[in-house]
């Protein structure tokens, strides 16, 4: 017979805080090893990024996302102290502030999209199980890959091979927006919301499916019972920085799961030519697909800043900066830690800015920098693709950072960056 154990929820705070830091700054060994053997154009940058993040204890990606907490509590444990969800959210808020991680949660999806400033609430799932142990799984999920989630209600006679074809279609549609190589999570069963829940959890603990999809290094699945008339299937995608770790609390002690190695530095070799941002002639004569190393001054601006600029133009207001010959980097960096010029930084999904791009190009913007393909063409304007998911590598290319305007938007404000040899690929829109 198991004796009831009294446990202060402060221990859950400590575990979640440490798990968040570990997940944000360490690539799991199995992921690193898979990527080491994966055929990818910028594999050296991915592996170097893992080394830098671990060495400097800084985030693998600037999008330190939403925190997922899967908590299993043994029914023979009596929890004392602060409410479990409250103390988990306190751990999230404290860790994101003290470790200089990016806060990405807005107050309301529709009515107040101002940043909450503490990255709460976490996405917390609590399950009561037998025994006197607590199991905690923490995952970090960024917005770019999350936006590629797809739910489909299939015919109940659908075969596994057809489900995998659906997953392949989702991976192809995600493309560079999900920072490949990707991990695919498939959830099948229950009802619609069950399938979505299972798909995300499958990324971390699902059963591996042997299925070869280009730009996908792992496919995992979780299933559940369902109605005789239903076969709900959801596909959730993670970038190559599949960030998660776990722990157990047994007899009042935290036992952290091992699964991380010490990663060596990786040399990045590039034959791309260096071009300065003030060399307008060289920039406008670039060939489609040409790789460059960009040096000079650029500015950051992403979703909220674009919306504000567009509104000011529509209202005939004077803009707080000139856009003439500016290069806009679609980026929202992590806050700078002590001694840093800027925190880890990388591109966000470019197509979200497509409705604003023609207007800003017309106002004099020379080029834009972001991630993935776009929905606009025929503009005869410059766009540069930057590799996603290598925030620590790109951080090293930033030599100065000065706020320009919209500082109230936090990470979405407009900043001037001095860059040195920023690796990019040319696309003519």
Question: Which tokens is 205 given?
Answer: 């603990």
What's 106's DSSP letter?
B
Q: What is the pLDDT, as a whole number, of residue 2?
A: 58
365-415 pLDDT, tens digit per residue, is 999 999 999 999 999 999 999 999 999 999 999 999 999 999 999 999 999
Q: Please pick, among 51, 227, 240, 306, the residue that the annotation labels catalytic.
A: 306
Q: Which residues contact 173 (CB under 8 A, 6 or more apart)?
A: 148, 150
Phi, psi of 166 (to 5 degrees): -65, -40
* In contact, 1 and 131? CB cutoff 8 Å: no
Return the closest-CA partner of residue 11 out of 208, 227, 251, 179. Answer: 251
- Straight-line distance from the first to the last Cα atom of the chain, in angstroms, rounded to the nearest whole number: 69
Return the closest-CA partner of residue 292 out of 413, 119, 425. Answer: 425
Span 115-119, average pLDDT: 95
Residue with tokens 């502030």: 97
What distance in Å separates the CA atoms of residue 228 and residue 197, rounded to the nearest whole number? 20
Question: Which tokens is 263 given?
Answer: 């990663």
Q: What is the pLDDT, as a whole number, of residue 1?
A: 54
Give start and end residues of each alpha helix (H) in 318-429: 357-362, 391-395
User: What is the rounded radius of gyration, in angstroms, for the C-alpha atoms of the chain?
Assistant: 23
What's 349's DSSP letter?
B
333-366 pLDDT, tens digit per residue, is 999 999 999 999 999 999 999 999 999 999 999 9
Map residue 4 onto helix, strand or coil: coil
Confidence of residue 266 (pLDDT cuts 50, 70, 90): very high
* In contact, 25 and 51? CB cutoff 8 Å: no
Per the document, the length of the chain is 429
- Annotated active-site residue 227? The verdict is no
* In contact, 195 and 187? CB cutoff 8 Å: yes
Q: Which residues contact 183 (CB under 8 A, 6 or more apart)?
A: 31, 203, 216, 217, 218, 219, 220, 237, 238, 240, 242
206-246 pLDDT, tens digit per residue, is 999 988 888 999 999 999 999 999 999 999 999 999 999 99
CA dihedral 156, 162, 168, 172 (to 10 degrees): -80
Q: Before 284, cis peptide (omega within 30)?
A: no
Residue 135 clears pLDDT 90, i.e. is over it: yes
Identify the H or E element spanning 402: strand 398-405
What's 240's DSSP letter?
S
Span 123-146, average pLDDT: 96
């Amino acid at each position: 017979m198991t004796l009831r154990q009294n446990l202060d929820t402060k221990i859950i705070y400590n575990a979640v805080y440490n798990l968040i830091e570990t997940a944000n700054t360490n690539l799991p060994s199995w992921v690193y090893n898979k990527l080491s053997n994966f055929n990818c154009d910028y594999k050296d940058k991915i592996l170097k990024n893992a080394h830098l993040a671990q060495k400097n204890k800084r985030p693998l990606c600037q999008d330190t996302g939403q925190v997922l907490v899967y908590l299993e509590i043994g029914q023979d444990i009596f929890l004392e102290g602060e409410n479990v969800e409250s103390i988990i959210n306190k751990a999230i808020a404290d860790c994101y502030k003290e470790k200089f991680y990016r806060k990405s949660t807005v107050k309301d999806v529709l009515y107040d999209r101002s940043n909450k400033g503490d990255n709460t609430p976490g996405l917390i799932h609590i399950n009561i199980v037998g025994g006197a142990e607590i199991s905690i799984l923490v995952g970090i999920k960024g917005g770019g890959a999350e936006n590629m989630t797809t739910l489909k209600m299939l015919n109940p006679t659908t075969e596994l091979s057809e489900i995998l074809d659906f997953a392949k279609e989702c991976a192809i549609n995600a493309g560079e927006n999900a920072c490949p190589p990707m991990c695919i999570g498939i959830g099948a069963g229950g009802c619609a919301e069950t399938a979505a829940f299972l798909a995300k959890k499958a990324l971390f603990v699902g059963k591996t499916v042997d299925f070869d999809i280009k730009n996908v290094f792992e496919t995992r699945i979780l299933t559940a019972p369902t109605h005789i008339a239903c076969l709900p299937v959801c596909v959730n995608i993670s970038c190559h920085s599949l960030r998660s770790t776990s722990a157990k609390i047994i007899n009042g002690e935290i036992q952290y799961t091992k699964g991380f190695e010490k990663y060596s530095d990786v040399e990045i070799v590039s034959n791309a030519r260096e071009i300065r941002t003030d060399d307008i002639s060289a920039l406008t004569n670039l060939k489609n697909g040409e790789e460059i190393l960009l040096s000079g001054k650029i500015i950051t601006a992403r979703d909220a800043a674009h919306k504000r600029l567009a509104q000011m133009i529509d209202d005939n207001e004077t803009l707080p900066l000139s856009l003439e010959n500016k290069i806009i980097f679609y980026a929202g960096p992590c806050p700078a830690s002590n001694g840093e010029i800027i925190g880890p930084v990388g591109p966000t999904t470019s197509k979200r800015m497509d409705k604003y791009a023609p207007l800003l190009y017309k106002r004099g913007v020379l080029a834009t920098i972001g991630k993935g393909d776009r929905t606009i063409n025929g503009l005869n304007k410059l766009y540069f693709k930057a590799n996603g998911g290598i925030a620590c590598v790109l951080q090293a290319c930033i030599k100065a950072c000065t706020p320009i305007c919209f500082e109230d938007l936090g990470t979405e404000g407009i900043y001037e960056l001095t860059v040195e040899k920023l690796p990019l690929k040319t696309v003519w829109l």
